[in-house]
Structure 1
C-alpha cells in the first residue's frame, strides 16, 4: 500500500508576505560565518548509554542533546527524531539537511504497527532518461560534472517528512522541535576533525560558490578544529519555517530561492567550472508528496525484521540476504566462515537489487517475490560454503515458480554507488521507536548553497543510473518525470513477538546495506551486544569483484582466512557509521553509536541507569 500525503494549499497572501519578510531576514542575517569563529571545546561524546525514559543515538553530541531535550519536555520518539535531524542540518550539513530527503521508519507502541514514510527526493516533471547524457556527445556525463550541477538536484523531502511524522506521531509542533536547531545555528557549534576534513575534501567545489564559501571556508580555508562555527542564515530560515509552516519552503519565497539557485547556479566571478543548470520548477516543489509505504518484513531466527521498501533497496536487500542466511547456522561457525556466508548472501541479494529495484510508482518491482523464502531457497543453491563465487554474480528470477535450484538470469551487474548520509535512532517512554536515515547524497551534496538560506542542495538524482546497465533487460533505475532514484538507505526495526527489540541504521551509500546486515548478524547470530555489534570491524560486498574491508580485517589472520575462501579484499579505512537502540529487559533501553568511525557518535538516555545491569 502506498498512501500519498499531498502538500496543503498555500495560505492566502503567504507568498507575498513572506517574500518581504524572508528577504528581510536574509538581509539581517548578521555577519558571515567567518566573523563568528572563536576557540572552544567540543561537547563530550558517549557512544553507549543505558537507562529509561527514552533514548537517542546520532553521530553528533549536539543532535543527540536536541533529541533528548524533546524527550525531556514530554515529546515522543518522532519529536526527538525531528529535533535531532534539524540539529544535524546545522552540525552535519554535508550529509543531511532540509535540502535533502530520507526514509522514516516508525514503530507505534499503541497499535503495534511498523509504518514508513518515503521522503525521498523526486526528479523534475521534465526529467527524461537522458537527464545525465550530454546532448552534444551523446555520452553520459562524468560523475563530478553531474554532481556539481542543477541537474542533480531533486525536490527535497526532509521538511515534508518532518511535518508528516509530527502530525501522525508527535506531541510538539514543528516550531517547537526546531528551537534547539535554531539556537545551535545562531550560537554555533564546535568544529571537529571530521567536519574540517569533509570541508577540505570539497574545497575546490565550495570555493566556486560564494554562498557555500562564506559558510564553510572562513578566510578562504576550512575552519580550524576547536573553533565555533555559526550559520545565521539557516537560523533565520528555520525561524521562517517555524513561524509560517512548511508551505513557505514548498510554495513560498524559499521555494523561489531554491528554483532560482537550481536554474541559475550562483557561481563566483573567478570560477571556471562548467555548472549545468537544472530544470526544477516551483510546480515541482509545490507538488511534492510524502508517501506512506508498507514496510518490508522477513522472519529471521524467530524475529520480525522490518525495513524500508522501494524506492529504497535497503529493506528488500537486507531481507533477501537474511532469508538466504536462514539456511545456515552462523552461530555454530567460526568467524571467517560466518563472514564468508554473509558476503556471499550479500552479493546474491545485491544482484537482485540491481536488476529489479526502482521507484515502485514508475516500474514494476517484484517485491513480494524478492522477499519470499522460496526465492531465497533458489538463491541458496548458488552459495558455496567453501569458496567465493566469481563476482559479479547474475540476478535470479523471482517469478513465483520455485523448485529447488534454478539457473541465474543473464546480465550480471555490479554496483558502485558512493555517497554519504546520516542515521539516527530514537525511542520514548511509551515504547515508540524511530529509525531514520536522511541524506543530501554525496558528502557536501551538490556543493551549492541557496544564497541567504544557509543550506546545501542535494545531488540525489545522481543515484539514478545515467545509462541502461541491464543489457537487454529493462533498467528500473533510469531517470524519469517525478521519479524517485533508488537508494541503499536501510533504517531497520526488529520486533520480537511484536515487541520492539532493536532498531538500527547507517550512512555510507551502497555500504549501508552491508553495515546493517552485518550488525544484525553480529547481534542475533554471533552473540555480540549492540555496542559490540556496531563497533566490530566491517567488510561489505555489493556484488563487486572486490570486497571492501576495514584494516582490522585485512591486516590480520581473519583477512588471510577470507582470502583463503577466494575473496579479494581491498583495504578501506572505515565503513559506515551506525547508530541503534536495543530494548533490554524491563524496558531498559541501550542506545549505541559508533565509538570511532567518523569521529565517533553520541548516545544518550533520559534517565541513566544508576547501577550496572547484572
Structure 2
C-alpha cells in the first residue's frame, strides 16, 4: 500500500475516533466515580491518585521529562497508595524517546533470592501451600526492582537532578496527606496489617480502627528513606542500613521467614529488554515482552481478531464479546505454556505474534459456539523446545502511570507490590512485595518442569501490560495500561479494541463493563447487561460475573491534542495543559 493511502486511512481512523469522542461515556455504575475526559495540548499525567498525578505534572512544569515525572509519581504513590506499589516492589517501564525515535523497555521485575528452590511453595507432603499463607511474611518477598529500573531510565532520559524528582513525596510524607476512601476501605478490610505494631501506629487509630477518610497520615520513616535515596541514589536502598533492614524483616518473620541476603540486594540489576511490537489495523502497538506475558497476549488477541475480519464500528454486541473471548482463550493458552523469564526459558516471541500463526489460530474459532477451553498452539520457533507446561496462580493488584511530556516523550509504567499491602512487611515506611507468589507453586506437572517454576535469580511471569501506540507514519498515538493481575491483559486489550475497532472514545471504552476469558469461564463485570450473559450462554459460554476493579489510565491523540482518561472504578485522574 502506498504511503499516501496509508496517510489517508490513518486520518480516517483519527476522524472516526474524534467523532466517537462526542458520545458520552456510559452512566457510571454504583460505586464508580463520575469522571470526564481531560484535554491537553502539551503534556499529560494520568495516575491512580490526584496527589501523585499533580506531583508528576509539577515536575513537568519544572522542565522535567516523562521519566522525571514518573519518578515523582511513583514516590508519591508509595505514600498515598501504599497498598498497590512502591520502592519495595517492581515495575515494567516502556519509554518512547521522541528525539531518538527509539522505544526502550526497562525491566524492574523482582527476582528470587539466590537460595530459592522450585519447592519453595510446597508443603512437606508435596501439595501447594495455601496462597494466603504463602503471601504473608518473608517467603514471598522478591528482591525489589523499581528503583533500579527508574534509575536506569533516568540516566538515559532524565533532565532534572535525580534528587529533585523525590522532593514532592518527601514533603508530603513529612507534612502528611488526607487518607482517601479507597485506602481507608482497604485498611479496614485487612486483618493482618493491624497486628504489626509499626503498621498499626502508622495506619490505624488507638482503638484499632483504620484511619478515617480525610484523616492526616504522616509517614516520617518514608520521608527519611526517600531523603537517603534522593541524596545517594538507588545504592542507598540496595546497600547499607535500608538493605540490612529489609533482610532482617524478611528473614525474621516469626512464622513464614524468607532467605533473602544482603548479596541478593547488592547484586540486583534492572534489564533493558526488546519491546514487543506488531500491527493492528493501521496502528503499531508495542508492549512489554517476557518476563511479562502482557505484550504478547495483547498482540495475539488483536491479531486473531484482525484475522477474523474488518473492524465493525458501533455498540458492543454479544457476538463481539464471543469473538473477543475466544481470541483471549487462545492467547492465554499460549501464555501459560510458553511465557516465563527469558533468561531461563526460551520463549518463541516472534512465532507467537506471527500473523500467519495467528490466522491459523483464528480458524479454530467457531463464530456461533464457544470452544470452552483452548490448547496451546505450535508457533514458529517452537521446534526443539521442551514440551510446553504452564501452570501457576494469577497475579493480583498493581498501579499504572501514563505520561506524555511537551517534547513528545512518552512513558507507560505498570508498577506493583503484588497483592494489596504485599507481604505485609513494613520497613522504613514502605511495604515489601509478595511477588514470588507469581511463580507456579507446583514446579512439575505430569513429570515435566513448569516454565514459571521458582528458580534462583529468576523473575516471575507477569501480566503487566504497559502499552504505547504509534500511527501509520510512526508518530506517537497513545499510551495505555492498567492494574488488575492476570485480568490486566483483557482490561488493556479490550479497551484498545473498543477504541480502535468499535470507535469508542477513551473514557467510554474504559468505563464499559469488562468482558473476556482467561481460558476458563467467560468473565463479565458484575454490572454487565443481562442480555450479554443470556446471549453468550446460548452460544455455549459458561459465564461468571465478578468485580473487576481495573485502573485503566489512557492518553490518546485527538483532533485538538491529547485526550486523557482515568478509570472511574478507582481514584485516578488525568491532569495536563
Check whether TM > 0.5. Answer: yes
Structure 1 residues 146-177: Cα deviation after superposition (integer angstroms, max 9, x where no partner): 10121110010111111111111111122111
RMSD of aligned alpha carbons = 2.0
* Alignment partner, residue 68 of structure 2: 79
* Alignment partner, residue 20 of structure 2: none
* Alignment partner, residue 12 of structure 1: none
* Alignment partner, residue 169 of structure 2: 181
Q: Secondary structure at the match of 2:449?
A: coil
* Alignment partner, residue 577 of structure 1: 551
* Alignment partner, residue 120 of structure 1: 109
CA distance in 2: counterparts of 1:282 and 1:572, whole angstroms: 42
* Alignment partner, residue 441 of structure 1: 418
Q: CA deviation at 1:301?
A: 0.2
Q: Secondary structure at the match of 2:496?
A: helix
Q: Secondary structure at the match of 1:53?
A: coil
* Alignment partner, residue 494 of structure 1: 469
Equivalent pair of 1:46/1:601 in contact (CA under 8 Å): no
1:485 aligns to 2:439 (yes or no) = no
Equivalent pair of 2:393/2:440 in contact (CA under 8 Å): no
CA distance in 2: counterparts of 1:400 and 1:252, whole angstroms: 45
CA distance in 1: counterparts of 2:160 and 2:35, whole angstroms: 27
Q: 1:590 aligns with which of 552, 563, 568?
A: 563
* Alignment partner, residue 108 of structure 1: 97
1:346 aligns to 2:328 (yes or no) = yes
Equivalent pair of 2:341/2:458 in contact (CA under 8 Å): yes
Taking a change above 3 Å as real, the CA distance of residues 150 and 368 of structure 1, as seen in their structure-2 partners, is same
* Alignment partner, residue 556 of structure 1: 530
* Alignment partner, residue 387 of structure 1: 369
Q: CA deviation at 1:411?
A: 8.2
CA distance in 1: counterparts of 2:400 and 2:95, whole angstroms: 14
Equivalent pair of 1:119/1:291 in contact (CA under 8 Å): yes
User: What are the within-5 Å matches in structure 2 for residues 3-82 of structure 1?
Assistant: 48-82=37-71
Runs of 4+ in 1 over 4 A off after TM superposition: 44-47, 409-416
Q: Secondary structure at the match of 2:167?
A: helix
Q: CA deviation at 1:214?
A: 1.9
1:417 aligns to 2:402 (yes or no) = no
Taking a change above 3 Å as real, the CA distance of residues 193 and 469 of structure 1, as seen in their structure-2 partners, is farther
CA distance in 2: counterparts of 1:568 and 1:556, whole angstroms: 14
Structure 1 residues 310-360: Cα deviation after superposition (integer angstroms, max 9, x where no partner): 001101111111111111234168622112111111111000000000000
CA distance in 1: counterparts of 2:448 and 2:357, whole angstroms: 20
* Alignment partner, residue 155 of structure 1: 143
The range that moved more, 149-158 or 44-53, is: 44-53
Q: Secondary structure at the match of 1:437?
A: strand
Structure 1 residues 277-309: Cα deviation after superposition (integer angstroms, max 9, x where no partner): 111001000000110000001110021110001
Give the gaps of 5 or more residues in structure 1.
1-43, 268-274, 403-408, 608-614
Q: 2:319 aligns with which of 313, 337, 343?
A: 337
User: What are the within-5 Å matches in structure 2 for residues 420-431 of structure 1?
Assistant: 420-431=397-408
CA distance in 2: counterparts of 1:163 and 1:382, whole angstroms: 45
CA distance in 2: counterparts of 1:415 and 1:563, whole angstroms: 28
* Alignment partner, residue 602 of structure 1: 573
Q: CA deviation at 1:237?
A: 0.7
CA distance in 2: counterparts of 1:414 and 1:363, whole angstroms: 14
TM-score, normalisation: structure 2: 0.90
* Alignment partner, residue 369 of structure 1: 351
User: What are the within-5 Å matches in structure 2 for residues 255-274 of structure 1?
Assistant: 255-265=243-253
Equivalent pair of 1:414/1:542 in contact (CA under 8 Å): no
CA distance in 2: counterparts of 1:216 and 1:59, whole angstroms: 19
1:306 aligns to 2:279 (yes or no) = no
Taking a change above 3 Å as real, the CA distance of residues 569 and 604 of structure 1, as seen in their structure-2 partners, is same
Taking a change above 3 Å as real, the CA distance of residues 139 and 557 of structure 1, as seen in their structure-2 partners, is closer
Give the gaps of 5 or more residues in structure 2.
1-32
* Alignment partner, residue 197 of structure 2: 210
Q: Secondary structure at the match of 1:583?
A: strand
Q: CA deviation at 1:492?
A: 0.3
Q: Secondary structure at the match of 2:129?
A: coil
Equivalent pair of 1:355/1:470 in contact (CA under 8 Å): no
Q: CA deviation at 1:216?
A: 1.8
* Alignment partner, residue 378 of structure 2: 397
CA distance in 1: counterparts of 2:98 and 2:85, whole angstroms: 28
CA distance in 1: counterparts of 2:35 and 2:244, whole angstroms: 41
* Alignment partner, residue 224 of structure 1: 212
1:294 aligns to 2:271 (yes or no) = no
Q: Secondary structure at the match of 2:554?
A: strand
Q: CA deviation at 1:415?
A: 6.5
How many residues align? The count is 539
CA distance in 1: counterparts of 2:344 and 2:390, whole angstroms: 21
Taking a change above 3 Å as real, the CA distance of residues 469 and 542 of structure 1, as seen in their structure-2 partners, is farther
CA distance in 1: counterparts of 2:294 and 2:390, whole angstroms: 18
Taking a change above 3 Å as real, the CA distance of residues 410 and 163 of structure 1, as seen in their structure-2 partners, is closer
1:195 aligns to 2:217 (yes or no) = no
* Alignment partner, residue 409 of structure 2: 432
Q: CA deviation at 1:473?
A: 4.3
Equivalent pair of 1:415/1:543 in contact (CA under 8 Å): no
